[in-house]
Structure 1
Amino acid sequence: MSRRPAGRTAAHPVDGGAGPAPHILYVHLHAPTGSVPHEDVYEMLLDLLRGITPVVQALPPDAALVDVRSALRYFDRDAAGLADLIRVRALALHGVDSTIGVGPNPLLARMAAADGPACAVRVLSGAGPAVEEFLRNKPAAALDGIGPASAKILAGYGLDTVGRIAATPLGTLQRALGATAGRRLYDRARGIDPTPVVRGAPARSIGGERRFGQDELDPVRHRRALLSLTEELGARLRTERQAARSLTLTVRYADRSTTTRTRTLHESSGHSAVLRTTAYQLYDALGLQRARVRTLSLRADGLLAEELTARQLSLEPGDDKSRLIEAAADRARARFGPAAVRPAGTAHRAPRRA
């Protein structure tokens, strides 16, 4: 009986049943400070992964998907063995530990990585019974693409676990979430995810930064910078017809230390008002007391195509009005340039982006 390498666990025992062999790795990196890895370190780690296989899809700021099918014979290892190799090399060369999920598709690899403590390799079999058992008691929100709004809708139908969703007719799911989202959920609850790992895929995040001319104590100026950033990010998302699943705020202080916080949006959005509210919540939660802030950075993460999002209907008439105004402002910017329309709150010139 072979020994399991240190740090490797099984999301579910791998059996010999039918099903695709695990060959997708979801690599989640952990910086020693507990925050996300620095951009330079992240790029070096991506280079490390590309040294194993060219089929690497970056998921900034701290993860990547890797398809290792073409590397199995060259390294004479299975996918789990390559995951062990990646983890050891990342730790030895860059001082960064990682959690790696190994599965037959991106969905199951991600879920395997999340199925336990950090800093380990976890393997999920591609066999049908193993996948069914692994998914059965997972909460609905564990499925990629199910945010708080969708989870609340599903809970209203009593569908609070993946097993219950899998047992639900397709038509019921489509009535609850819409035709496209319902079909996607129906498949994912059964462990089906045909999404390929795309080499050189577009970035899954966009960001901006405001650097103050001097270390800034004034919270009004901090919020003004966040207002400017969210307007900029929102306009970029809408221009590219994308929506963000979460927002990450990084505050760099006068002593060069940083604080990073991330919050998942209530629903995926490119609406500037949603981004602004979330950014203010992240900032307020830090409770900065006379902090000397040098830089504020904001990043929209988990980008997906706008047409794949499901907008929850609002009974607030002001919501539709604000979106109409936003659309008109976008048209003005497209015609006359990005500075044609700016929020009144940024009338006092915000710090320039570095």
Structure 2
Amino acid sequence: MQRTIIHFDLDTFFVSCERRLDSRLIGKPVIVGGTGDRGVVSASSYEARTFGVHSAMPMKMARQLCPDAVYIRGNAGTYSKMSREVTEILQESLPVVEKASVDEFYGDLTGMDKFFGCYRFSKELRQRIMNETGLPISFGMSPNKTVSKVATGEAKPNNEIKVDAGYEKIFLAPLSIKKIPSVGQKTFVQFCNLGVRTVDLVQQMPLEMMEAVFGKSGRIIWERCNGIDNSPIVPYHERKSISSERTYGQDTTDITKLRTTISAMAENLAFQLRRGNKLTSIVTVKVRYSDFQTYSKQMRVPYTSADHTLIPKVMELFHKLHNRRMLIRLVGVRYSGLTEGHYQIDLFENTNKTVNLYKAMDIIRDRYGDHSIRRANTIGEGSRTIGNQGNPFNGEPPILLAHRHQ
């Protein structure tokens, strides 16, 4: 049976969320990301892109290119909530949905042509999403994930494209090789050195040559350029770790600020574990010095999601790492080795009061935000950019916002 795969992508998602909250931003150049000199652009509106602004660009450069834009720090919790609204509509409507990122989805409509016209059904679904959420969205439809994703890119902004079976190569042929998934900047430079810039030239190259030049990835790129992709729709991705990092606006040796940052990240990540019904068994701390030398240490711990257990372990690792008399550029915390489970009482250390305290604190955080209640030692200048991350355990990748890099 011929497959029918649809790829949905929310247009300039972070910007669209901000415009939904404030309609005065519609039609204006809007840039979401870090507001400090070391911040980077997380998203930019199409109006800002006409000035050359794009995601991952240093915010300092964006300000030079588009000084009159509206600059917004962004809120990951808000974006996660709006993303879930779209996810729920898709899960309700499609037999199989894969959430590739906070603003990107795949669906498998194979066999639905017997009962519905897949393209007509998808157009109606797209219209429903826009009507119910107020967020613009585009889609591409084809027999596989690669062609559908590329088609969505060509459809943007706020449109749709269908590529019929048998026309995949024809559709891809005139496009830039950069539009093929898995072709990054480094690979694109290699293609340019070969005199190859468009997909049609790759389609004409022997598979053996592609493998000789690019190794194992050569076959993957060649197949994708020829419209071949048998990868399945994966409805759920199990998270293996959860992490947070902070890049300081100015490198620092302020030990109070460093401890505050580390403690705040450890506490917030512990809350994320409990909210996702997860326990961690491995704690890792990372430190990057001003010379960009990066060091990390980790230790195993009994499965837990308790602040009072994890914070001391995190601080112990940090003090082992902090052994150079140099300015520090970045610190990070990661919990890994995750498993399903609720925080349990330790018969030798805790009481029922401890568990009830965590439950009460988490209820307040869920209702009023991650930082509505905190430990005293996590309050201070060092914790000011540890943002609301939403729930990273709802079957979707976490949202990474540039506002951490202040």
Scaled to the shorter chain, the TM-score interval is 0.5 to 0.7
Alignment-derived partner of residue 195 in structure 2? 158
Cα–Cα, structure 1 residues 72 and 49, in superposed 2: closer, same or farther, change >3 Å? farther
Q: CA offsets per residue over residues 224-270 of structure 1, 9 Å max, x none?
A: 999x89xx9xxx9xxxxxxxxxxxxxxxxxxxxxxxxxxxxxxxxxx
Query: Matches of 1:206 and 1:137 in 2, distance apart?
Result: 41
- Give the drift of 1:155: 1.2
Q: Is 1:350 paired with 2:332?
A: no
Q: Which has the higher contact order (CA 8 A, sep 6+)?
A: 2
Q: Is 1:135 paired with 2:172?
A: yes
Alignment of 1:101-116 (within 5 A): 101-116=140-155
Note the residue ranges of structure 1 that are not aligned, 5 or more in a row: 1-18, 211-217, 237-271, 281-317
Q: TM-score, normalised by structure 2?
A: 0.49
Cα–Cα, structure 1 residues 99 and 163, in superposed 2: closer, same or farther, change >3 Å? same
3-state SS of paired residue (2:237): coil
3-state SS of paired residue (1:195): coil
Cα–Cα, structure 1 residues 172 and 111, in superposed 2: closer, same or farther, change >3 Å? same
Alignment of 1:213-228 (within 5 A): 219-220=249-250
1:80 touches 1:121 (CA, 8 Å); kept in 2?
A: no
Query: Matches of 2:108 and 2:116 in 1, distance apart?
Result: 14
2:2 touches 2:110 (CA, 8 Å); kept in 1?
A: no
Q: CA offsets per residue over residues 89-139 of structure 1, 9 Å max, x none?
A: 111111112101011100010011111441112101111xx2222111211
Larger Rg: 2
3-state SS of paired residue (2:161): strand
Cα–Cα, structure 1 residues 89 and 187, in superposed 2: closer, same or farther, change >3 Å? same
- Give the drift of 1:88: 1.2
Q: Percent identity?
A: 17
Cα–Cα, structure 1 residues 109 and 93, in superposed 2: closer, same or farther, change >3 Å? same
Alignment-derived partner of residue 224 in structure 2? 188
Alignment of 1:267-306 (within 5 A): none
Q: Is 1:91 paired with 2:130?
A: yes
Alignment-derived partner of residue 16 in structure 1? none
Query: Matches of 2:210 and 2:195 in 1, distance apart?
Result: 12
Question: RMSD of aligned C-alpha atoms?
Answer: 4.0
1:53 touches 1:71 (CA, 8 Å); kept in 2?
A: no
Alignment-derived partner of residue 20 in structure 1? 2
Q: Is 1:29 paired with 2:48?
A: no
Note the residue ranges of structure 2 that are not aligned, 5 or more in a row: 20-29, 33-42, 44-77, 270-285, 302-312, 332-379, 388-406
Alignment-derived partner of residue 108 in structure 2? 67
Determine which of 175, 192, 204 is the counterpart of 2:212: 175
Alignment of 1:306-325 (within 5 A): none
Determine which of 152, 167, 185 is the counterpart of 1:148: 185
Query: Matches of 2:161 and 2:240 in 1, distance apart?
Result: 24
User: Which residue type is aligned with residue 8 of structure 2?
Assistant: V
Q: Paired residues, what number? A: 233
- Give the drift of 1:175: 2.4
Cα–Cα, structure 1 residues 204 and 88, in superposed 2: closer, same or farther, change >3 Å? farther
User: Which residue type is aligned with residue 2 of structure 2?
Assistant: P
User: Which residue type is aligned with residue 47 of structure 1?
Assistant: E
- Give the drift of 1:78: 2.2
Query: Matches of 1:121 and 1:206 in 2, distance apart?
Result: 35
Query: Matches of 2:240 and 2:85 in 1, distance apart?
Result: 18
Query: Matches of 2:176 and 2:10 in 1, distance apart?
Result: 24
